[in-house]
Structure 1
């Protein structure tokens, strides 16, 4: 009956298992167009075990409602714990809190420099504005770190800010502008060292998200700030005290405008 069905449907060269059934056509032009152009090819069973194995694949690479069960049991049952925290170690959390304190202390130190150069008997508004902007930048860095801490499910713990031990910056040999700018350069280099320490902690804890955050949001900008302040130190060393500082201050005012 199978042969009769094949003859009635005018099929030729069809393979079932390893047996080929051939029915001659009385007229070649009577063959179906698909067979004439080779679009329908005979199917033969392959002895290749890899092909046989691939035919058993389902094509499913991700089963969300099955695989999610492992993560579901890790979701805290109470909102008293962070629901967003995942692969965020206590060491990274503590390091972020430490860096927040570093940024706030740097901001406080810059604010002291701003207050000094804003005095009426010092009267260098360009330097005052530069140090005020530097203070604001460090504070913004601290706030950015606080925001990241909350994003990762950590807890912000603010620490004490140290009172600046210096309030006068006039040096008999260097003058106040150069003395203050050298202090700013040392401060930027110190902050950079602290950031590198934070980055190392993130690397040691296998936290690629934190390392990416530090690299993209802090380290690149930090080296630019170091270069900028280093250039200011070189310029102040060149112009000396007195009249040269006045013109340097005018330059800073122009950059701030």
Structure 2
């Protein structure tokens, strides 16, 4: 009995200390009895939008991969590269939804915002598709960094959310920096190949074979 009274007193003391008497806690406000806490609310809308963009990315790169899977193009290396990016974007979409649900948010995918015009995907060649892919990754990476800044220790103290920042680091930002480095390297190598007029066709075929092996 004394132990129960002690626990009740401790909870009551914490509630008062954190503003529960003003309706800011689950103890006094049933609307606060959710999984939302810390600074997540300051990045919730951004992450929701980002999830929809990631879903669109998976469709875009799946479409881009199909461009290089046609009989008159036949670039299995490029097809494999873009399908891998599409699959990663799909997995990221699912994981983002799961994470937001764990943090008490509700995710709806009723709207889509395309980063690129679909026609630009369908008319892509080897060089232009790599440039498009790099721009795409940089755009989403920049948005991920902006979300991270909102909830990191460099921002407002009441916006700080180390759990969300860690999630972004581990699941998005680290992968994106590596992918940006890889794509920029592919572009540089392909530009060198295409600069050799006499051997560019053979070089392009060998470059595609290389992608088919490493991806």
TM-score range, shorter chain: 0.7 to 0.9
Give the aligned partner of residue 43 of structure 2: 92
Count of aligned pairs: 188
Give the aligned partner of residue 243 of structure 1: 202
Q: 2:140 matched to 1:181? A: no
Q: 2:201 matched to 1:201? A: no
Report if aligned partners of 2:148, 2:165 keep a CA contact under 8 Å in 1: yes
Q: Could you say if the C-alpha distance between residues 97 and 225 of structure 1 is closer, same or farther in structure 2, counting changes exceeding 3 Å? A: same
Report if aligned partners of 1:116, 1:168 keep a CA contact under 8 Å in 2: yes
Structure 2: distance between partners of 1:212 and 1:65: 34
Q: 1:119-138 alignment to 2 at 5 Å?
A: 119-138=70-89
Structure 2: distance between partners of 1:186 and 1:179: 11
Q: Could you say if the C-alpha distance between residues 158 and 121 of structure 1 is closer, same or farther in structure 2, counting changes exceeding 3 Å? A: same
Report if aligned partners of 1:97, 1:156 keep a CA contact under 8 Å in 2: yes
5+ long unaligned stretches in structure 1: 1-62, 171-175
TM-score normalised per structure 1? 0.65
Give the aligned partner of residue 41 of structure 1: none
**Residue 78 of structure 2: SS of its match in structure 1?**
helix
Q: Shift of residue 82 of structure 1?
A: 6.0
Equivalent residue in structure 2 for 1:220, among 165, 169, 174: 174
Structure 1: distance between partners of 2:74 and 2:128: 16
Q: 1:68-87 alignment to 2 at 5 Å?
A: 68-69=11-12, 70=14, 74=26, 83-87=34-38
Q: Write the deviation string for residues 193-227 of structure 1: whole angstroms up to 9, x where unpaired.
A: 11011112223422222112212222112111111
Q: 1:102-113 alignment to 2 at 5 Å?
A: 102-113=53-64
Give the aligned partner of residue 3 of structure 2: none
Structure 1: distance between partners of 2:76 and 2:33: 46
Q: 1:6-155 alignment to 2 at 5 Å?
A: 65-69=8-12, 70=14, 74=26, 83-155=34-106
Q: 2:213 matched to 1:254? A: yes
5+ long unaligned stretches in structure 2: 1-5, 195-199
Report if aligned partners of 2:55, 2:89 keep a CA contact under 8 Å in 1: yes
Structure whose residues are more often helix by fraction: 2
Q: Could you say if the C-alpha distance between residues 168 and 225 of structure 1 is closer, same or farther in structure 2, counting changes exceeding 3 Å? A: same
* Structure having greater relative contact order (Cα 8 Å, sep ≥ 6): 2
Q: Could you say if the C-alpha distance between residues 100 and 112 of structure 1 is closer, same or farther in structure 2, counting changes exceeding 3 Å? A: same
Structure 2: distance between partners of 1:98 and 1:75: 32
Q: Could you say if the C-alpha distance between residues 76 and 238 of structure 1 is closer, same or farther in structure 2, counting changes exceeding 3 Å? A: farther
Report if aligned partners of 2:133, 2:183 keep a CA contact under 8 Å in 1: yes
Structure 2: distance between partners of 1:229 and 1:119: 22
Report if aligned partners of 1:93, 1:155 keep a CA contact under 8 Å in 2: no
